[in-house]
Amino acid sequence: MDGLKIASSGETTTERVLDPCCGSRMFWFDRQHSDVIYGDKRRETITVTDRCSADGQRTLRIEPDVLMDFRALPYADGNFKLVVFDPPHLKSAGPKSWIAAKYGKLGPDWREDLRLGFSECFRVLAPDGVLVFKWNETQVKVKEVLALTDKKPLFGHPSGRTGLTHWLVFMKD
């Protein structure tokens, strides 16, 4: 599959940054940065026909370097200096929803999924490593999500047109 890897459990790596939910790498300035492992549980190309683009089509490419599940990261403890955790944030969306395709959709056990995701992200962080967490509270408030981890963010900032997207920064003890 043209360069796609499936990491084995406990793997160590020389890259210093992990994005285990990269999706289409929307917020990355360099979507091919050599020091980042871009991971996701899905690999797909989705094209929709609509009036949102000049040619009447939009294409979304989810092309991770490594297939992985953020609830069970395949890397050794303390492997990364920086982890970017941007999990799906939608509880409900239609089966053909562009927004669900773009951002992913939470499963029925989303609280446990996110609890495991936080735990895994902190596990693979090196001591003094930084976790950047991104969350949009359109359907679930950030306060409810933060209750799923015992770690406290150092600081954060709401952004976006409506201020519903939150960027939070944690540092591992």
Q: For residue range 82-127, what is the model confidence (pLDDT) as tens digits?
A: 999 999 999 988 877 778 888 888 999 999 999 999 999 999 999 9
Q: How far apart are CA 67 and CA 90, in angstroms?
A: 21
- Where do we find the tokens 């979304």? 60
pLDDT at 32: 94
Buried-exposed string 145-158: b where 16+ CB fall within 10 A, e elsewhere: bbebbebebeebee
pLDDT in tens, 124-149: 999 999 999 999 999 999 999 999 99
Integer CA distances (angstroms), 32 to 28, 80, 137, in order: 9, 17, 28
DSSP 2: T
> pLDDT band at 1, cuts 50/70/90?
very low
**Cα 78 versus chain centre, distance:** 19
pLDDT at 19: 98
> pLDDT band at 73, cuts 50/70/90?
very high
Helix (H) or strand (E) holding 119: helix 110-124
pLDDT at 3: 64
Residue ranges per structural domain of the chain: 5-125
Amino acid at 32: Q
pLDDT in tens, 46-72: 887 666 666 767 888 999 999 999 999
pLDDT in tens, 9-37: 778 888 999 999 999 999 999 999 999 99
Contact 124, 76 (CB under 8 A): yes
Q: How far apart are CA 124 and CA 82, in angstroms?
A: 9
Rg, C-alpha atoms of the chain: 16
The answer to whether the predicted template modeling score (pTM) of the entire model surpasses 0.85 is yes
pLDDT in tens, 151-173: 999 999 999 888 999 999 999 99
Helix (H) or strand (E) holding 18: strand 17-19
